[in-house]
Amino acid sequence: MQEAPEGYVESYSGISVTTTPDRFGVNFFKRFDVVLNALDNVDARRHVNRLCLSAETPLIEAGTTGYLGQTMVIMGKQTECYECQPKPTQKVYPICTIRSTPSMPVHCIVWGKELYKLMIGSAPDSMLFEDEEGDKKSTFMSPVVNERLKVEEKPSPEKLLKYTKSALTALFTTEINKQLGMDRYKGAKKIPVAHDIEAMAKGLEAGVLNPPSESEGGEKRVWTNEECCQEIYCIVSEMYTGATSPPDIFSSSVAFDKDSHVAMRFVTAAFNLRASVFKIETNSYYTAKGVAGNIIPAIATTNAIVAGQEVFELIKILKHGKDKVMEVCKFTYCLRAKTRKGFFLQPTSLQRVRRWSRRGTRQGRERRREERIWE
């Protein structure tokens, strides 16, 4: 506020997608001359986009992906909106590849996310979960799921350590040896090697929590298999001792979130143990988080450039008014390589809003349905 001491900032805390319309609805957005977006996920952006269209409030939308970024202005009935162009969807990997034949780090990271649900969250929601009545039940189902300790009984450190060792042995020793005995990997380029969890977890002591993620540089270096066992034991202990009732653990509310430090610690440890079994490259916590969230780590300089571009567009709207958005505002790309003229920023004209047929076409029907929603 040193640059503009007469300015006033009023903050609001909440999640616009899930909070009640009375708080962050159309009337809330009508109060503003312009809205600037700084969101990091598609669902939230779509939500704000639709509210601004309904409120007839200009929206300055921006985003970055590593060294790349863009800034655009959205104004109802003038420009294309955020949803006019399709957005890339998150890639989905076959269950059989995740469960049995991983070949890339991302396969093991997805497996780690599913194991998090199986051990910590709602087990039936995990793709690794198997029904009790199944004919070919994996050896890890009983040690991992059926023997989960009861939170209300406040299990001792010894019981937590025993459960962790039993679960890891079933996952990385017994199950792998079972698959090898069935010739599941006969002819494969890389034959998996089962871990000796008993030896890896030999240094674990009940009640002694020393997670590698908390060590100096722990998030940027690759953990050893022994450290991964230690990390998982620490997380299991933290989750059990921190939970006050069963809903705090073993429920859908404990879903994986890339921004959850606990969840990412677990996934990183499980991923590395799984990857080393299948002779796949292991990664650090920092790298695993980027893959798990299907994101490229943010670069502060790119964010600053794009934020500056948003301010430029803001000044144009405040100076000329929202009716002149199409004439004075630009869609600006932030590039990694210079243009022919030596610039890293490439401004282009905004795309006009598409005019759909009012009847007779699927697009026209969809457009009318959207208009009714906005109204």
Buried b (16+ CB within 10 A) or exposed e, 82-98: beeeeeeeeeeeeeeeb
- For the chain, list the domains and their CATH numbers: 21-88+298-374 (3.40.50.720), 95-292 (1.10.10.520)
Task: Provide the pLDDT for residue 374.
Answer: 42
Task: Provide the pLDDT for residue 246.
Answer: 44
The length of the chain is: 375
pLDDT tens track of the chain, all 375 residues?
Answer: 577 788 888 888 665 555 556 778 899 999 999 999 988 778 889 999 999 999 999 999 998 877 889 999 999 999 999 999 887 665 667 788 888 889 999 999 999 999 998 988 888 888 888 876 656 678 888 888 877 776 556 788 898 899 999 999 999 999 999 999 988 887 778 899 999 998 998 888 887 888 888 888 888 899 999 999 999 999 988 888 775 444 456 666 667 777 888 899 999 999 999 999 999 999 999 999 888 876 455 688 999 999 999 999 999 999 999 999 999 999 999 999 999 999 999 999 999 987 654 454 455 555 545 444 443
Backbone dihedral angles phi then psi of residue 71, each to the nearest 5 degrees: -135, 130
Q: Which residues are catalytic?
A: 96
Task: Provide the pLDDT for residue 43.
Answer: 80
For the beta carbon of residue 81, count every other beta carbon within 10 angstroms. Answer: 22
Task: Provide the pLDDT for residue 87.
Answer: 74
Its pTM stands at 0.61
